[in-house]
Amino acid sequence: MPPLKRFAKPLSVRSLPRGFLGAGVTCGLKPSGKPDLALFVSDRIAAAAAVTTQNLFAAPPIHVTRDHLKSGRAQAIIINSGSANAATGRQGLIDARQMCALVSAALDIRSADVLVNSTGVIGQRLPMDRLAAGIDDAVSNLCSAGLNRAGEAMMTTDRHPKRTARRWTQGRREVRLATFAKGVGMIHPDMATMISVALTDAAVSAPLLRRALREAVDQTYNCLTVDGDTSTNDMVVLLANGASGAPRIERITSEGYRRLVRALTESFEEMVLSIASDGEGASRVAVIRVRGARTVADARKLARAVGRSSLFKTAIHGADPNWGRITMALGNAGVDIDPSQVSISVAKTPLLRRGQPVRHDRAQTSQAMRKDQVPVVISLGLGRAEATCWSSSLTEEYVRFNSAYTT
């Protein structure tokens, strides 16, 4: 789909945040022989924040990363693809900690300043001998341009890399943000198989960084659904190393904080679109906007209920303007709404107005739904709150792919 080509283009070195290096190498975890080990490194201690999966089977590396993030600082992120190191018990924890220790020794930094994650098949142990060699290889290949390769090494079934960059001015200094993501299936974040790494050379206190990350994630990644399944390894991590020389952001009321949140939100929204477009077997993306809700929480809950409905997703794939799929999902969302006030349009065609069906040309509407992105607007007439959810269509290819994922 067209959006993927835009996000697949490597980020130029001039757009990358200062003080960060990266590497993506092959260490034999993937049968395909493609890069499978990503390393992101700051040349100095950085403020760090993350949001992680709420799945109760959270993988061992998620537990290690949560523990290391208690300090609010980090200097490196190591991520392998090909194996999720999930449901691997005590040995999985030992292996995740060992990955941090290997990076620590190779970079001469504290093990507690290394964050770790894995992605791939659940229930498989990591081949630590291969990872040890791969970490040495990654450290020897660190460079600014290597951040692009690190983003590629995180991929599993992704068709294309997902990355974007932002710049803004803070105290007459240019501040940069680069965001990398992977994921096409098992995606229905609740934080948040999906992993995203965001790096900025802004100077931010750890408490504000955590707040900014949560604010941006709630509007973007947590409003994304590909198949309704929350992964064991979902993580969005953000490092801010201050290498730009811009004034430090200390207050939530400051213009610097607002610009940071805006940059994060815009970048994450682009990543959400890229992930939804690349959803396993996806033929198109539905952009679901709920307006006129009493609260933002209600609007998000309703939008996500529609977005995760298998019947709605198959209708989007079939370009079927069956608005009954939408009302069904709204009614099952657990939010108090007034059906007599609900209006729905799909692909800019009004289908329901204040609870009453609207006559329309089904053939024309179906044709309008065959574009890469299908806008769905739901108006509730209850208040002023609104929210957006991004959802992939559900196709025969998704079923074929996932029915034979490990065989």
Cα angle value 231/193/334 (rounded, 5°): 45
Count other C-beta atoms under 10 Å from residue 10's C-beta.
14
Of 119, 179, 193, 388, which residue is the catalytic one? 193
Superfamily of domain 2-277 in the CATH hierarchy: L-amino peptidase D-ALA esterase/amidase (3.60.70.12)
The DSSP symbol for 10 reads P
Alpha-helical segments (H) within 220-323: 255-277, 296-308, 310-317
Q: At what angle do helices 296-308 and 310-317 cross, to 10 degrees?
A: 60
Fold agreement (2-277, 285-403): no
Cα gap 233→193, rounded to integer Å: 7
Assigned CATH topology for domain 285-403: Ubiquitin-like (UB roll) (3.10.20)
Q: Please name which of 167, 164, 170, 199 lies closest in space to residue 22, comparing C-alpha atoms.
A: 199
Local confidence pLDDT in tens for the 407 residues of the chain: 445 455 668 999 999 999 999 999 999 999 889 999 999 999 999 999 999 988 888 999 999 999 999 999 999 999 999 999 999 999 999 999 999 999 999 999 999 999 999 998 889 999 999 999 999 999 999 999 999 999 999 998 787 899 999 999 998 999 999 999 997 554 444 444 479 999 999 999 999 999 999 999 998 988 887 655 556 888 999 999 999 999 999 998 999 999 999 999 999 999 988 887 765 556 788 999 999 999 999 999 999 899 988 889 889 989 999 999 999 999 989 999 999 999 999 999 999 999 999 999 999 999 999 998 899 999 999 999 999 998 887 766 666 655 555 55
Instruction: Output the pLDDT for position 25.
Output: 98
Mark whether 193 is an active-site residue. yes
Residue 350's H or E segment, with its range, is strand 349-353
Domain ranges of the chain: 2-277, 285-403
